Amino acid sequence: MTAIRLLLVDDDPLVRAGLSLMMGGAEDIEIVGEGADGDEVEALVDRTRPDVVLMDIRMPTVDGLTATERLRARADAPQVVVLTTFHADEQVLHALRAGAAGFVLKDTPPAQIVDAVRRVAAGDPVLSPAVTRQLMRHAAGTRADTRQARARDRLTALNDREREVAVAVGRGLANAEIATGLFMSVATVKTHVSRILAKLGLNNRVQIALLAYDAGLLEDTL
């Protein structure tokens, strides 16, 4: 089995050391590089070719949000998981909209952080339905009407079936659960999700969930 190539980016050397020690015990994860600031990320990615970047948000020169936006704009971008000390932080939401695959709290148990890296490498966002709902609630507020109109306009690109799948993704359902609820195969669900991402220009399921929330499609499920 090919090891997951992981890049660590955090301005605190003690945090990097702890993450390195933690990840070093996983046989299927290889740490290919470390960075101390967001301004180093693109050069490090070019040199180390990671599958996943574990990135701090608060860094001195270029923060993790800006670094994530720059990285995810690239055609060959690795997956990004942001590190945070808050459960519901507007900056975390910003990172998710920029294309990060999810986030982990810095006080998360080591085994769960390792599992998060594995899941993201496999294409699954690191957000439970409860955390997704919490973040989306946190997003509600300023310019809600404008955001809703914009989101609904974007969703007109989807057909009815794709829209149903988008709502199910927004509810935090796994592919198997969506398949059961909508009476289709898991393979068909995966195809629909891929088409939704392509049609809407999104990077991952978290962004689908956020867009569905912005459009007001999840109000009865929160």
What gap in Å lies between CA 63 and CA 44, rounded to an integer? 15
Specify the DSSP class assigned to residue 126. Answer: B
User: Which residue intervals of 73-185 are DSSP H helices?
Assistant: 90-98, 110-121, 129-139, 144-155, 160-170, 175-182
pTM over 0.75: no
Q: Is 7 helix (H, G, I), strand (E, B) or coil?
A: strand
Question: Do the Cβ atoms of 188 and 158 come closer than 8 Å?
Answer: no
Query: For residue 178, how far is the Cα from the chain centroid?
Result: 20
List, in sequence order, every beta strand (DSSP E) within the chain.
Answer: 4-9, 29-35, 52-56, 79-84, 102-105
pLDDT of 65-103, one tens digit each? Answer: 899 989 988 888 899 988 877 655 566 667 777 788 877
